[in-house]
Amino acid sequence: MTTLQTAIGAQAGSERQLPATTPAVSAKTWLAVSGATLGAFMAVLNIQIVNASLANIQGGIGAGIDDGGWISTSYLIAEIVVIPLSGWLAQVFSVRIYLLTNAFLFLAFSAACALAQNLPQMIVLRAVQGFTGGVLIPMAFTLIITLLPKAKQPIGLAMFAISATFAPAIGPTIGGYLTENFGWEYVFYVNIVPGAIMITMLYASLEAAPMQLRLLREGDWAGIATMAIGLAALQTVLEEGNKDDWFGSPFIVRLAIVAVVALTLFLVIELAAKKPLLNLRILFRRNFGFGVLANFLLGVSLYGSVYVLPVYLSRIQGYNSEQIGMVLAWTGLPQLVLIPLVPRLMQRLDPRLVIGVGFVLFGGSNFLNIYMTNDYAADQLFWPNVIRALGQALVFAPLSAVATSGIEAENAGSASALFNMMRNLGGAIGIAALQTLLTKREQYHSNVLTQSVSMFEQATRTRLDQLTQYFMSHGVIDRIDAVHHAYVAIGKVVQKQAFILAFSDTFFLLGVSQIVALLAALMLTKPGRIEAGGGH
């Protein structure tokens, strides 16, 4: 029995002694799971809630457009580094102390971010907020698959799905509303009340256990160092690569080399170590390996679509933060209706069928957006967003249940870290790919459209004449200036159309990613049947 298992064993002991056919879960255990999943929800929410208000935050602290991206990047780097560490650190400090300490620090640094006066302060505070908040995600997942009996895990995983899929979708809605009505500071202050509730729930429900500080001497420090360096370098490459022209930048080249070398060493160390930080061998188990792959691709589309839609609505339709949030609300709200029903579906249907339908709906929602036009706005996005919400709600809980079926308690920390880290990494890679695709496809479509807008075409000459007359009748006296304004206006129309076509291409890529995820899901084997009231 591992130290993590010992730390929570006292709490789960009563359930283990009950007959397997009638597992009972104490109110204290549900309180612990609920508090942990609330923390995971807040941690994920704080990625997207800030992105929706980034322009306002940049203005408030005097950050430039290019440098302001580090407000999000610093949080993401710290979060993705700490997720794999959490299982081991929970053994060292005990689940109770580790979770409560990080929950309190997350709350404190959330409030501190609202008081930042400049960019360096904000970057440091966001990094610490991400490092403490990142703990809450895998620990919630670990408690679900360790404390709850198999028959009750679908309920816990459905609760966790609200943090994994609903939080990214609803983040821009909350962030946009708070920013437009109260100010950007409130995207950080909003954590205080639910954070206090979370801490109270965890304090009342988690059993005390002794710390195991001796494990610090036995730690896989080589694995920790190479993982932290590799993931931090990789995340920075993904966040900054498109802006710096990828490998045209010496900085990006150097960081990419660091990431490849460090992560390669990490893999070698983990596979050779007697007590590795992460047990990577569980990736060779069929269900977990294909489940992680499907989850990675889910992250590509989940975070990618939350990135693409606000950029489209802002750049093409001129929406403000609150309007964008209202559009994206329909990618989240239907999930609140469907997610509680998913455990019932898993009892009555093969979970793999539920997963497959979910990926079909999610992929289909992206394909519905591949023929965008100048008038493609909130009304046209409504049904694709609703279908996407239904797909996301159907995928996560059954995918998590099938992937982690058969995972032993001693491997729960590794499974949780790998499953959650790969989803976040999928999101980072997806966003980087979409940024590059958007830039390249806009250039391609602009070149194609420009060739069509030729002075040899009568339609072009007619439109130039019409615009020239328009500008001369609206205050432009000199005809040469009016002609120049006409050329500029046509150029803007061409560029806008090129961007619309490029956005259509990004949704096609997102749809394809879900087809591949569906193929990975088809490789899953059926776990033991999940009974309605007990047994597995």
Mean pLDDT by 10 residues, the chain (536 residues): 43 43 78 94 87 79 70 85 90 93 95 90 92 92 89 89 84 85 90 94 92 87 93 88 86 94 95 89 94 95 89 88 86 89 90 95 96 91 94 92 88 90 89 89 87 64 68 71 69 84 95 96 77 36
Q: What is the C-alpha separation between 88 and 3, in angstroms, rounded?
A: 9
Provide the CA 504 distance to its chain's centre, in angstroms.
21
For 11, half-sphere exposure in the C-beta direction (CA atoms, 13 angstrom radius) is 28
CA 317 to chain centre: 25
Whether residue 132 contacts residue 42, with contact meaning beta carbons closer than 8 Å, is answered with no
Taking Cα atoms as reference points, which of 438, 455, 457 lies closest to residue 498? 438
The reported pLDDT for the residue numbered 202 is 94
* 211, 305, 307, 388, 389 from 510: Cα distances, Å: 45, 7, 11, 12, 15
Element (H, E) at 295: helix 286-315
| d(C-alpha 309, C-alpha 324), whole Å | 8
Given this model, what pLDDT does residue 41 score? Answer: 93
Inter-residue contact 236 to 258 (CB < 8 Å): no
Query: pTM score, two decimals?
Result: 0.84
Q: Which two structure tokens, joined as six digits, stand for 517?
A: 């995820």
Neighbours of 263 (CB within 10 A): 17
Task: Give one DSSP letter per residue of 20-47, joined into a string.
Answer: TTS----HHHHHHHHHHHHHHHHHHHHH
> What pLDDT was estimated at residue 23?
62
